[in-house]
Structure 1
Amino acid sequence: MTETAARLYELNLYRRYFDLVAAGEKSIEVRVKYPQLAGLAAGDVIRFRIKDTNETCDVRVKRVAEYPTFEALLDGEGPSSINPTSSREQQLANIRNIYGPEKEALGALAIKIELLAP
């Protein structure tokens, strides 16, 4: 049996979400199902970066789940795992503000993450 080596993905993250990840309060990251994330799997590492800074935070991927819409993702994962400081309705509005309908049509990924020690 051959094991696949963990891959490193580098992704930008807005400050408000970065702070939640760095504090260990955000356990689900929401992304569009872009082709470059097709191989993302449990065991991989994501290095989140605040755009145009050197500030980073590393997490290990625990699982990846696909959903047809952001609404289905919020219902399936629970909004408190995604952002414990916002209501479900506010989160849906925020996510759709970041990703327009053409992006949501690609599908949504719920990425279960675990903060790695610095």
Structure 2
Amino acid sequence: MNDLNHYIGADLTKSPTGGISTVSGIERGKQRVLRRLLTNPGDYVFHPEYGAGLGAYVGQIINVPQLTGLIRGQMLLEDVVAKTPPPSVQVTPRDDGTLFVNLSYIDAPSGEPTTLAFDVGAA
């Protein structure tokens, strides 16, 4: 299955033929997980429960186990994330108030181990 090739916060990209680029496979799954985690709950009018809203935690005192549980729970709502073994989630608050998130999970369609690491709140 293909989706638009779009990382949250970035522009759409063009294909070599000038159309809108699409993405599939593991890369599609990474984009879906990242989009879910960075989208604020309520931003999608017809899906108000969608999203973890990680940006809201920047600059806050973080309860790491609670945030880890939120991330894992949101990840498990994505069909591309295998339910077993459960995803591994590591959240590291930084001194400047930003967060570093490191995820490991099995891509359900391919069965391949997958990692995704990203900063939240960094410029």
TM-score by length of 1: 0.29
Structure 1 or 2, whichever has the larger Rg, is 2
Using the size of structure 2 for normalisation, the TM-score is 0.28
Instruction: Say which structure is richer in helix.
Output: 1
Q: Name which structure has the greater RCO, CA cutoff 8 Å, separation 6+.
A: 1
Larger relative strand fraction: 1
